[in-house]
Amino acid sequence: MSLFEPVFAALTEHADPTIRRRWVEERALTVFSLHDPANPMREVDLFAAPPIDFDELWRRSVTMRVGGIQVHVASLDDLSAMKRLAGRPQDIADIAALDESRRGTEGAGGD
């Protein structure tokens, strides 16, 4: 079995709305994470049910280069909102760090 097979299996299951609905109803699952065991900083959280309309997220997204590839990422406001909805201890800590980061950048600019 290749290293990627479990990831592909998880993503395939995540794409099935019936399976996601069952996860929400039977497991009270809100979010699950995929991570790279070789680099714990490489992690992505997937919502079982979309907390914010995709078209709205896309419209407010920002683009950045990741590993040489241009990608869309959620705006800081949307990221904070999704973390608030997930409500896990790490998400709460992340919200505090995002808020602190924003406060630091608001004053930047030589005022």
pTM for the structure as a whole:
0.65
Alpha-carbon distance of 92 to 75, in angstroms, equals: 17
Measuring CA to CA, which residue among 62, 37, 59, 35 is closest to residue 46? 35
Tell whether the model's pLDDT for residue 97 goes beyond 70. yes
Alpha-carbon distance of 59 to 64, in angstroms, equals: 15
Tell whether the model's pLDDT for residue 110 goes beyond 50. no
For the chain, give the number of residues. Answer: 111
* The pLDDT value given to residue 7: 63
* The pLDDT value given to residue 55: 92
pLDDT tens, position by position, 39-80: 878 888 888 888 888 899 999 999 999 888 898 989 999 999
Exposure on the CB side of residue 11, measured as CA atoms within 13 A: 8
Alpha-carbon distance of 17 to 23, in angstroms, equals: 10
* The pLDDT value given to residue 40: 79
The mean pLDDT value for 11-21 works out to: 79
Exposure on the CB side of residue 42, measured as CA atoms within 13 A: 6
